[in-house]
Structure formats: structure tokens, C-alpha cells
Chain A
Amino acid sequence: MNSPRKVMVVLLCSIFSLGIVSCQQDSETLVPSDYSQWKMTSSELLNFPIPGHGNGERLIYMNDLGISYLDRVSNLESADLGFPPGTLLVKEIFASPNPSVDDEPRMITAMYKDPDHPFQRGGWVWIIKNGPNAQESYLDEEFCFTCHNSANQAFPYGQQNLAGRFQDFVFYIPLQGGY
């Protein structure tokens, strides 16, 4: 085989390999299956109606990176917050305000801190899954971001953030160590 043909074969193989790698990256999921082992962000029963999620009960988990960041923040009650890249919050939304232990959430939403991601809004990638086994999809519109921006101002439920500190788009900030 002469040199130009060798080069062509190598190039084609490289392009093919890159394609495979790209496909693998695309199919990679951000929400791991064991997120329910993480700490929760609130001990409060979150089943009061809110726009966007209705009155179904909500369970919110934060990965260890986020929890350990909060552990390092002094004066956690009043400090402005900035979660490190890689922080992941997962919110299970159930259909019923009082679900049984066997019920599956009707929807899972997640926030993944990645300021360099092409779909990021406010430094977070906004993710939605229509059920535990459904495929993840990124939300590139303003809907989630616009509502969660209210977490950086005073809001009328839960912790309320009356001081209006910057909470980095997270409504419920757990105490150090989480729940």
C-alpha cells in the first residue's frame, strides 16, 4: 500500500473513532442512578403548590461536592453562595402531594453546575427527565432559569431569603452537613 492510501486510511479511521467518541459523550448521562443516596437539601415537606411543579411532593438531593462546599462556607445563613462546577442537584417530583413509598416520581429535574456548557443558563445546565427511566434532555430556553432566578431575591415560601442574598439559583439551602 502506498503512502497516500495509508494516510487516507488513517484519516478515515481517526474520523470514525472521533465519531464514536462523540456519540459516547452525547449519550453520557449527568444524573447518576444512585442520587437517592445523597444528602437532601430540606427536611421540610415540599408539597405546597408552586408554579412549574404543581402540588406534587418534591424531594431534592445534592451531591457530595455541593454539600462539602456548603460545609466550608462560613456564616452560611447570610453569605452569598457560588457552588463549584460539578455540583448536582436532583429534584424528584411526584404526582401526588402524599406519595406512597412504592410510587415513582412522575418527573425528575436536575441542575448541574457547568459554566462552560453550551446550554448553561446562570452557570447551570437545566435537565429534565419524564420519569426515572426516561432519557435526559437539556432545557436551552429561559423557563427554568427565569423562575430559579427568584431564589436570588426574596421569595414567599420555605426559607424566603428575606435578605436577598445571592443563593446561586438554589431555593433550599441545607444546613451544613445536609439532611
Chain B
Amino acid sequence: MKESRFVPLTTKVNLLILVGMIVGIGTITFFLSNRLIRTLDDLSASDMNRQADAIYAAIESLMLPGEAPLAQGFFQRLNAIDPDQQVILFRTDGEEAFQDNRTILQVNGIQMSQQFPLRETMMPMATISPEDPAFAQALGSAGVPRDVFLRETQDGRTSFRVLKPLINLPQCVVCHGADHTLRGVLQISSDTTSLVQIQRITIIFAAGGFLFLVLVLGYALTRSLHTLVLNPIKTIGEICDGVSRGNLEERVSIRHADELGLLANRINSMIEGLIERFKLSQYVSGSTIRSLQKDEQGTDVKLTLFFSDIRGFTKYSEGTSPSKVVEILNQILDLQTQIIQEEGGDIDKYVGDEIFALFEGEKGPWAALRSAQKIQLRFRELGDQLEGLGVGIGLHWGEVILGRIGSVTRGDYTVIGDRVNTAARLCSAAKAGTILMSSEIIQWLQRQKNRESVPDPRLRGPFSLRVKGKAEPLSVYVSVPELKEIRSE
């Protein structure tokens, strides 16, 4: 199966934050900017329409009492106040009103008087094409006359244009006649280029603010995540690495009241558990630990049984201080234990100055014999350092019962059976410096020698040994290891 490429958590988190911020804040900024622009446009349009209504009402008010010249002056004032805004009244044919005498002549004709004096100076006249779609729509090309609002862009400039039909109201027909519906179209145009520029600047500022916000918040969030999540995870990983290398001294020092704090506590508890188990293995046999793990009941197994016992220890302890006794005893037991464990043996129990060890597997007899030989050789080397004490060792091989032996509240995983007793008897019969083995051990060694190269243990025997509890004497062999035998291995 193809392995996934390793991507650091930091990279993933940073990427997640950046994408989240860009999508989240970007969307909000986009919608807000868009909304702002629309609102400004709507406000401008609304303002334009209000202005158009106000100007329309002013024209009506000025025209009804026949004050057209005042309306013309009003237009001029409005156009002078704001050069970006132009107010023009077009007649229905597209010519600008108030610039010549045409309307005055018509009104005087209807009135059959010279009520309104003719102007002496003609003004420049603006025109709008009757085909102009907005103008035509205002005149009623789509059914009835109606207001038209436009937003136009030309040569980089933006403007709003409102066209409002000026209706020939019943009050107007007295002067203007009743033969037409509209008197003209009022056009108000406003250059909003500066407003558009403000909108652009607003968008640029919003985009800049967005980028700044993303960077600042991204940095702050990344730092926070590093402190709150990534660094604790890194620390936990380092501690776990240390544990895998055998370092059980370090602890995760995270005091967060969150999931990571709980995880740190669990890791620390796990390390404590490992330490307890390690310490337990110093006091409990390996078979006991394995049995506990498997929750085994009694079972038949073939094992090599190893017993060693210090000769003359009772007499020695009577004339020696207790502390020295314990010191020497521990030294002797430790010496033997190290050798037994080096050869793959498992200490089942210490009984006073006696060791009972087990060797599993097909090579168990050979490993047990090697342990025994090494122990005897070591005693000979140390000599006086061990106060002249020595051990006798008994070895036996065969089927025994392995199981939890004891009461409900206290028990041991150990082996029992006739072969255990026989091995103990062999040990009792072995003199200091010697190894007493059963014929089963020797038979095993002979079988192995036929199959593979097994060194000759330099045995003497068989001897007949009568032991307590056995009607028939046992056939046993004695080995007194020599230094050169062991070193030549």
C-alpha cells in the first residue's frame, strides 16, 4: 500500500486557518463592500429622486401663478450652486424651455393678450433627441408617461439622470391649453464620478483591511494553536519517544484543564504503570507475569528444573552478624540470578538461601547446565570473597504442573509435581561445588549430541541415589566443572 506523504500538523493547521480566514472574512468583506456600494448607489438614487420631486413641486408652484421667469431663474441658481448637477426642462420636441419666446407667444395667444412680455435676448438652447430612449420613455412611449432613472458611464465618468414628465395639469390648461398631455420633461443629471472614486477607495481600504486582518488574526491564531495544541503534542511525542528508548524518568508537564491535559495525565499514568511492572518483574517470576497476562489456570508443561542451595549457610549465619549474613546472602543470590537470567532462566522463587529456577524450551537442559557450571566456576573464582561458601545444584527435566497455587487472596504462579520434589532432592544431595543431574537430563544431552554439537559436560556416573519418598534409587550424574571447560565454549 502506498504510504501517505508526511505533512506536519503545523502546516495543516496553518493552511486550515488561512483558508478559513480567507473564505470566511473574504466573503464577509466582499458582501459588506458590495452592500456598501449598493447602499451608496441607492442613497444617491433616492436623493436624486427627492431632489427631482422637490424641483418638480417648485416648478409647479412657480408656473401656476404665471411666474415662468422665476422658474427660469430658479434653474439657473440650481445649476450655479453645483456644477456637477444640471437641471434642464425640455419641451416635448426636445428643445430646452425658457431659452426663447415660443412658449410665451403660445400662452399670450391662448390668453389673447400680451400678459407675458417677450424676452429680448435669446439664450443658448440645449436639445435632447426625441429618439433618446429615456426621453421617449418619459414621454410615454411604453404606454403612459413615467419617471425614468438612469445610471450612465461614459469616458470614465459616471452620472445619474432622472427624467420626470411635466404633466399639463388641469390648472395649467388655462394658460397652456388642453390639447396636450405633457408640457415637457424635467431632466436632472448629476455627475457622481467622485462618489464612484470614493467607492473604489472604500473597496481598496476594505481589501487592505481584510488582508491586514487575515495576517494579524492568522498569526495570532497560529501562535495560540502552537501554545495550546501543537507544543503540548510535541512534548507528549518526545516523552513517548523517551519511553520507547527506556527512559522512564521524564514526565509530561502539561497542566492544561482540557483534553491535552487529560492525555498528559494518561501518559504519565502509563509511565507509572510501566515502572510498576518493571519493578514487579524483579520480584515475580516471568512465568507468573505471563500467566497473569493470559489468566492461565493449571497446565502441564515440560520444563528444566534448577535448584541451588548454599552449603553450610546455617552454621555460617550463626556466627555472623545479621547484616553481614544478609549482605553475603544477597551477594550470592544476585550472582546466581544474573547468570541464570543471562542463560534465559526464570527465577521462580527464593526460599531462604535456596534458588528455584525454571528453564523453558528444548534447549532448557543445556541452558540450565551451563548456568550451573558458570555458577560453580564463579564461586571458585571468588573464593574467600564469599566467605568460603559454596552451592550444591540439582537439575532435573520433565513434565510438571504450572498454575496458580494458593488461596483466593494470596497465591503464586509456580510449578508442582513429583519432578519438582526430585529436583529438590538432587539439590540437597549435591555437595558444594558440584552439580547433580537426573538421568532425564543426561538422556536429553545425548539426544542433542546426536543432532548437533553439544559440548561434553564431563560427567561422572551413573550413580545410584536413594532419596526420601522414592522406593527405587535414582540414577544420577555428577559434574564438577573445570575452568578450561567453560572458557573453551
* B174 CB–A CB distance under 8 Å: yes
Asked if B178 and A50 sit within 8 Å, CB to CB, the answer is: yes
Residues in A with CB closer than 8 Å to B178 are 48-51
User: In the assembled complex, how far is the CB of residue B116 from the closest CB belonging to chain A, in whole angstroms?
Assistant: 19
Residues in A with CB closer than 8 Å to B170 are 50-51, 147, 150, 155-157
* A128 CB–B CB distance under 8 Å: yes
User: In the assembled complex, how far is the CB of residue A93 from the closest CB belonging to chain B, in whole angstroms?
Assistant: 13
Residues in A with CB closer than 8 Å to B263 are none
Residues of A in contact with B, size category = 10 to 19
Residues in A with CB closer than 8 Å to B173 are 50-51, 156
Interface string of B174-208 (1 = CB under 8 A from A): 10001111100000000000000000000000000
Asked if A128 and B169 sit within 8 Å, CB to CB, the answer is: no
Docked Cα-Cα span, A134 to B382, in Å, equals 130
Interface-side segment among B141-149, B344-352, B477-485? B141-149
Number of interface residues of B (CB under 8 A): 20
Asked if A143 and B174 sit within 8 Å, CB to CB, the answer is: no
Q: Choose from A48, A143, A154, A156 the contact partner of B144 (Cβ within 8 Å).
A: A143
* A96 CB–B CB distance under 8 Å: no
User: In the assembled complex, how far is the CB of residue B259 from the closest CB belonging to chain A, in whole angstroms?
Assistant: 36
* A146 CB–B CB distance under 8 Å: yes
Residues in A with CB closer than 8 Å to B169 are 51, 146-147, 150
Residues in A with CB closer than 8 Å to B165 are 143
Residues in B with CB closer than 8 Å to A147 are 167, 169-170
Interface string of A121-163 (1 = CB under 8 A from B): 0000000100000000001011110110010011111000000
Known: A156-B173, A156-B174. A51 touches B168 (CB 8 A): yes
Residues in A with CB closer than 8 Å to B167 are 51-52, 143, 146-147
User: In the assembled complex, how far is the CB of residue A29 from the closest CB belonging to chain B, in whole angstroms?
Assistant: 19
User: In the assembled complex, how far is the CB of residue A27 from the closest CB belonging to chain B, in whole angstroms?
Assistant: 20
Residues in B with CB closer than 8 Å to A48 are 178
Asked if A51 and B147 sit within 8 Å, CB to CB, the answer is: no
User: In the assembled complex, how far is the CB of residue B134 from the closest CB belonging to chain A, in whole angstroms?
Assistant: 14
Asked if B144 and A141 sit within 8 Å, CB to CB, the answer is: yes
Asked if A141 and B181 sit within 8 Å, CB to CB, the answer is: no
CB-CB nearest in chain B for A50: B178
Residues in A with CB closer than 8 Å to B140 are 143
CB-CB nearest in chain B for A126: B144
CB-CB nearest in chain A for B146: A141
User: In the assembled complex, how far is the CB of residue B448 from the closest CB belonging to chain A, in whole angstroms?
Assistant: 75
Docked Cα-Cα span, A154 to B173, in Å, equals 13
User: Among residues 157 to 177 in chain B, which have CB atoms less than 8 Å away from a CB atom of chain A?
Assistant: 165, 167-174
User: In the assembled complex, how far is the CB of residue B177 from the closest CB belonging to chain A, in whole angstroms?
Assistant: 8
Docked Cα-Cα span, A157 to B170, in Å, equals 8
Residues in B with CB closer than 8 Å to A146 are 167, 169
CB-CB nearest in chain B for A141: B146
CB-CB nearest in chain A for B177: A49
CB-CB nearest in chain A for B145: A143
User: In the assembled complex, how far is the CB of residue A44 from the closest CB belonging to chain B, in whole angstroms?
Assistant: 15
Known: A141-B144, A141-B146. A153 touches B181 (CB 8 A): no
- Chain A residues with a Cβ under 8 A of chain B: 48-52, 128, 139, 141-144, 146-147, 150, 153-157
Other than the given A49-B179, A144-B144, 16 more pairs (CB < 8 A) read A49-B178, A51-B182, A52-B181, A139-B144, A141-B145, A143-B146, A143-B165, A143-B167, A146-B169, A147-B170, A150-B170, A150-B171, A153-B171, A156-B173, A156-B174, A157-B170
- 7 closest cross-chain pairs (CB), A and B: A141-B146, A155-B170, A51-B168, A49-B178, A51-B181, A150-B170, A143-B144
